[in-house]
Structure 1
Amino acid sequence: MVLRSRAPRRRWLLGLAVLTVVVLAATAAVVVTRLVGSDGGSGTPAAGSPSATPAGTPSGSPSPTGPPPGADITGPLNLLLVGVDTRVSVPGWEPHADAVLVLHVPKGLGRAYLFSLPRDLVVDIPAFPKAGYRGGRTKLTHAMSYGSRVPGKPKQPSTAQGYELLRSTVSGYTGLRIDAGAVVTFGGFDKLVDTLGGVDIYVDQRVASRHRRPDGRHRDPAPGGYTGPQMVYEKGQRHLTGWQAIDYARQRYLTGGDYARQRHQQQLVRALVRKILDQDLARQPERVEQVVAALGDTLVYSALGGRRIIDFAYALGELPAERFVLVGLPGGAVGRGSGYRGEQLTKVGRDFLTALRAGRADAYLADHPQLRVKT
């Protein structure tokens, strides 16, 4: 099927941000139809290359006649969501992939599995001539950094270009083709949570923040860490504001280390999903506009073959929220002490990926219930 791409009104462009979360959540696609414009135009990127598009850049709108967008999408689908620490205040700072989450939707689109990959996972990163990178075996987070380098422009790293290399690396490691994805800065998540009025999360262990004070101010940097009063998230059901939710999900110096952080990041995405559903945003287009406008340019959207976010939204519009499964992949350190190289998944974690590719995820999770993340 040949997809036609048309330039919409500006408010549809702002919709990329929240719709990325909506797509990941498989919430109602009615939001899309109410934000779409009908102006003509064209612009479809080449198949196999990411159409990295900052929010505010023209995308497509559906034809007023014929089948709905994404009608030919039957799955399986794989979407990649990346949280980056850009540190925009530091000139030339290369984006680091601090959160790498994959949403797998099997054929039939009746279920979805969300899992995280450790930022320090030791992987083979392929050569990437566009950034002058020759390839190597190192931590997954570096794929974003190395890929973002623009030859001749050392102080102007490209997040979209970094995502391209990260996408290829994740695809090579998991054996999954990444159909679409997004890169969101911590500031973007912060704004999204606040615009939604905060989120409700079950804090599963006591977490003391290394970065924030109880009043939200940043703690003072010091040799080996930070100083000053710490924000503490006590165990139990909590309502968190934007900065609190992101701060909680960022912490990894706690029991469980980075694997606990991955779990908390998944819980945050799930909490955002529930918030969007609870507020019935699909029937409040003006509220959606408020949400997505808050993110501005903190999001980059990318898809293979020119697929638009509207296509995925329509395709996943009927997926029940209760069939959105969070999966925690166990792993351990590679090397010890000063010889630490990174992380690797255990056999149980690697075998889940094999089962996922074979369409046997449910059976595998039934045999390994400890992989299911409790919310």
Structure 2
Amino acid sequence: MKRSRRSRRLPRLPRRPLRKLLILVLVMLLLPIGLLFYYDTKLHRVDALANYSGRPSDTPGANWLIVGTDSREGLTQEQKDELATGDAEGERTDTIMLAHIPLTGKPMLISIPRDLYVPIPGMGSHKINAAFNDGGPQLLVQTVEGLTGLRIDHYAQIGFGGFDKVVDSVGGVKMCIDQPLRDPKAGLNLKAGCQKLNGKQALGLVRTRAFPNADLERVVNQRKFFSALMKRGMSPAVFLNPFRLFPFMSGVASSVTVAKGDHLWNLAWLGFRLRGNFITTTTPTAGAEYTDDGDSLAVGDNTNEFFAYLRKGKTPPDELLSNG
């Protein structure tokens, strides 16, 4: 005997539970979007990308200028002591990196040594970190654009204050250290090998200059750490875990300064592009020279050739790339 058509119908959900389910799904979709916009309003912003006469026109891809400073703003005396930051006032650049996201090919994370001796508009030639120290983000952007011929599209800056919280919010960052590192001035005491660094340890690592070649070794560690942080921040363990994601977003929003017109989703896109396989290098130079600013690094033909490839949307050849 055939079953009736009515007997084969699936039971209907009561309207009230169905409505509650739809509301729950809607809330789950809208809450992250709402929080994204909320945290975006908390980002600090600065007019870093002002136009000026002779500014480079748009170049292929997107270019980020990423700056780490020694600003202690927002730190209590107890936190300064805990993080071994010292009490210096103002802010100077400890880190200058260029993130180049080409239209095709691998992204690049490029360290610009702070001792690179370059022309600074209105100041003559000095070490490049003097541009930020004396003229802030605008002058540093203009100086980097003059050096590279690239148009800077985005700007991001972070100081000591809040750096440790960003790292701790994602549960620490795994790093592999080639040698034991001990630097009391940076509050650093690390063993060799792969290990997870907390915020205090990570800050000490990117600050320390306790190497024979000082800054050139430090910029390598800074790139390694930045790469590891992006990989961790964009990992499912953080990105799909609200107990990690929201503190991470909050930490970034309270600690990072961006250019006017930049948003939290721009930072997320940068992290997404730098989460995996990309090229890291230091700007090639003509080597050491002694200048009015003391021991410096000279701009050479290899420096100009390196940035010429980027302006054309091409990856520089291996002989222009370096880990040091």
- TM-score computed with the length of structure 1 as normaliser: 0.63
Displacement, 1:283? 2.9
- RCO comparison, higher one (Cα < 8 Å, 6+): 1
> Following the alignment from structure 1 to structure 2, what is the Cα–Cα distance between the partners of residues 116 and 184?
16
Judging changes above 3 Å, is the alpha-carbon distance between structure 1 residues 313 and 245 closer, same or farther for their aligned structure 2 residues? closer
**Residues 251 and 261, structure 1, Cα contact 8 Å, conserved in 2:** yes
Describe the SS at the equivalent of 1:211: helix
What is the distance in 2 between the residues matched to 1:78 and 1:357? 11
Q: Which runs of 4+ in 1 moved over 4 A?
A: 8-11, 15-18, 45-48, 89-92, 311-314, 316-320
Superposition deviation, residue 141 in structure 1: 1.3
Q: How does 1:109-188 map to 2 (within 5 A)?
A: 110-127=105-122, 135-147=123-135, 162-188=136-162
Distance 2:278 2:312 in 1: 19
Q: How far did 1:250 drift?
A: 0.9
TM-superposed CA distance for 1:181, in Å, is 1.2
User: Post-superposition shift, 1:292?
Assistant: 2.3
1:233: which partner in 2?
Answer: 190
Which of 172, 179, 183 is 1:205 aligned to? 179
Partner of residue 322, structure 2: 371
Q: What is the CA–CA distance in structure 1 between the aligned matches of 2:131 and 2:48, rounded to whole Å?
A: 22
Matched letter for residue 85 of structure 1:
D
SS in 2 for 1:361: coil
The one-letter code matched in structure 2 to 1:371 is: S
Aligned equivalents of 2:237 and 2:60: distance in 1?
26
1:335 and 2:290 correspond: yes
Relative to its length, the structure with more helix (as a share) is 2
TM-score of the two chains, using structure 2 as the length reference: 0.71
Task: State the AA in 2 paired with 1:271.
Answer: A
Q: Tell me how far 1:120 sits from its aligned partner.
A: 1.8
TM-aligned CA deviation for residue 96 of structure 1: 0.6
Root-mean-square deviation (Å): 3.6
CA deviations 1:105-153 (Å, max 9, x no partner) are 1124x521001111122111113xxxxxxx2211211211211xxxxxx
Cα 1:310–1:278 shift into 2, 3 Å: closer
Query: Where do 5+ consecutive residues of structure 1 fail to align?
Result: 1-7, 21-44, 51-72, 128-134, 148-161, 214-230
Give the counterpart letter for 1:293 in structure 2.
Answer: S
CA spacing shift, 1:185–1:17, aligned 2, 3 Å: farther
Aligned residue number for residue 262 of structure 1: 219
Which amino acid in the other structure matches residue 176 of structure 1?
A: L
Distance 1:80 1:13, change over 3 A: farther
Larger radius of gyration: 2
Residues 209, 248 of structure 1: 8 Å contact kept: no
What residue is the counterpart of 2:98 in the other structure? 102
Q: 2:234 aligns with which of 269, 274, 277?
A: 277
Give the deviation of 1:198 after TM superposition: 0.9
Aligned partners of 1:265, 1:16: CA distance in 2, in Å? 28
Partner of 1:79: 64
Residue 14 of structure 1 is matched in structure 2 by 39
Task: Give, as a single letter, the amino acid of the residue that structure 1 aligns with 2:276.
Answer: E
Once residues 236 and 91 of structure 1 are traced to their aligned partners in structure 2, the CA distance between those partners, rounded to angstroms, is 32
Contact kept? 2:186, 2:207, Cα under 8 Å: no
Amino acid at match of 1:123: V
What is the Cα deviation at residue 172 of structure 1?
A: 0.9
Alpha-carbon shift at residue 270 of structure 1 (Å): 0.6
2:60–2:311 CA contact under 8 A, matched in 1 = no
Shift of 1:274: 1.6
Query: How far 1:350 moved relative to its partner?
Result: 4.2
Quote the offset at 1:75 in angstroms. 4.8
Q: Deviations along 1:320-370, whole A, 9 cap, x unmatched?
A: 74332111234432218x9724223554444322222223315x12x45x6
Q: Deviations over 1:191-245 (max 9, x none)?
A: 11111111111113332214245xxxxxxxxxxxxxxxxx432332122111111
% identical aligned pairs: 28
Distance 1:258 1:46 in 2: 28
Q: Give the letter for the 1:275 counterpart.
A: R
- Alpha-carbon separation, structure 2, partners of 1:307 and 1:271: 23
Q: Quick check: 1:123–1:140 contact (8 Å CA) kept in 2?
A: yes
Alignment of 1:357 with 2:306, yes or no, is: no
What letter matches 2:246 in structure 1? E
Q: Give secondary structure in 1 for the equivalent of 2:210.
A: coil
Instruction: Tell me which amino acid in the other structure corresponds to 1:144.
Output: F
State the alpha-carbon separation in 2 of the partners of residues 333 and 105 from structure 1: 29
How far residue 266 of structure 1 moved from its aligned partner, in angstroms, is: 0.3
**Alignment partner for residue 193 of structure 1, among 156, 167, 174?**
167
Cα separation, 2, equivalents of 1:112 and 1:195? 26
Contact 1:83–1:97, Cα closer than 8 Å, also in 2: yes
Query: Structure 2, unaligned stretches of length 5 or more?
Result: 1-32, 52-57, 78-85
Q: Say how many residue pairs are matched.
A: 274
Q: Which AA in structure 1 matches 2:283?
A: L
- 1:79 partner letter: W
Change beyond 3 A, Cα 1:339–1:142: closer
